[in-house]
Structure 1
Amino acid sequence: MTYVVTDACVKCKYSDCVDVCPVDCFREGPNFLVIDPDECIDCTLCVAECPVEAIYAEDDVPVDMQDYISLNASLAKQWPIIIQKKDPLPDHEQWAGIHGKIDQIER
């Protein structure tokens, strides 16, 4: 099993999770982070660090966010590793409570 970054991260890109990851499995896109399922060791450390609760165990991803499972896997192959916490996006507070943002992901 792996962990999956979902909708709440889109256009927010909090990276608190990156600092606690022992295997550097996070990948960074322009306005979203993903987890590389081939690198994730299921340690759960990232889940508690996410301020918007965007990270789920693969088996627990809500039904309406199932597309994020394959999206994390495919984007992880394209995006670079992020190993250090960065500031969230400038307008993160505006987007934090908005749902259904999959179409807002910049690739």
Structure 2
Amino acid sequence: MTFVVTSNCERCRFTDCVEVCPVDCFHGDQTMLYIDPEECIDCGACVPECPVEAIYDESELPEELFPWQSINAKRAASLPVIMEKGEPYPGAEQRKKELGFST
């Protein structure tokens, strides 16, 4: 099993999850983060840290989000590791509000 970052992270890229990851399995581009399934140790520490509930245990991934498993694997392999909390995507707080999460 592994954890999967899904579409709620797009245009948010909050990095609270990165700080608690013991194995540095998060990779990122300018708009979101991805989990490398080869590095993830399935600890789940990242899940409660995500302010937009974008991270799922793959065994609990809703069917409509299944494509994110392969997206994470593919994108993580070609992107740099993100090991420190950084600035979220510009407009992330507005996107968070649009997704129905309080700011």
**Cα RMSD for the two superposed structures:** 1.2
Distance in 2, matches of 1:73 and 1:20, equals 20
Residue number in structure 1 paired with 2:38:
38
* Identity %, equivalent residues: 49
Q: Is the 8 A contact 1:26 1:34 kept in 2?
A: yes
Distance in 1, matches of 2:40 and 2:80, equals 15
Could you tell me which amino acid in structure 2 is paired with residue 23 of structure 1? V
> 1:47 aligned to 2:40?
no
Q: Is the 8 A contact 2:27 2:33 kept in 1?
A: yes
Q: Is the 8 A contact 1:8 1:97 kept in 2?
A: no
Residue number in structure 1 paired with 2:90:
90
Q: Is the 8 A contact 2:30 2:89 kept in 1?
A: no
Residue number in structure 2 paired with 1:2:
2
Q: Is the 8 A contact 1:9 1:52 kept in 2?
A: yes
Structure-2-length-normalised TM-score: 0.91
Q: Deviations over 1:46-75 (max 9, x none)?
A: 001101110000111111111100000000
Structure-1-length-normalised TM-score: 0.88
> 1:71 aligned to 2:71?
yes
Q: Deviations over 1:1-36 (max 9, x none)?
A: 000000110000000000000000000111010000
Deviating runs (4+, > 3 A) in structure 1? none
- The runs of 5 or more residues in structure 1 that have no matched partner are 100-107
What is the CA distance between 1:98 and its match in structure 2?
A: 4.9
Distance in 2, matches of 1:51 and 1:77, equals 25
What is the CA distance between 1:90 and its match in structure 2?
A: 1.6
What is the CA distance between 1:82 and its match in structure 2?
A: 0.4
- The runs of 5 or more residues in structure 2 that have no matched partner are none
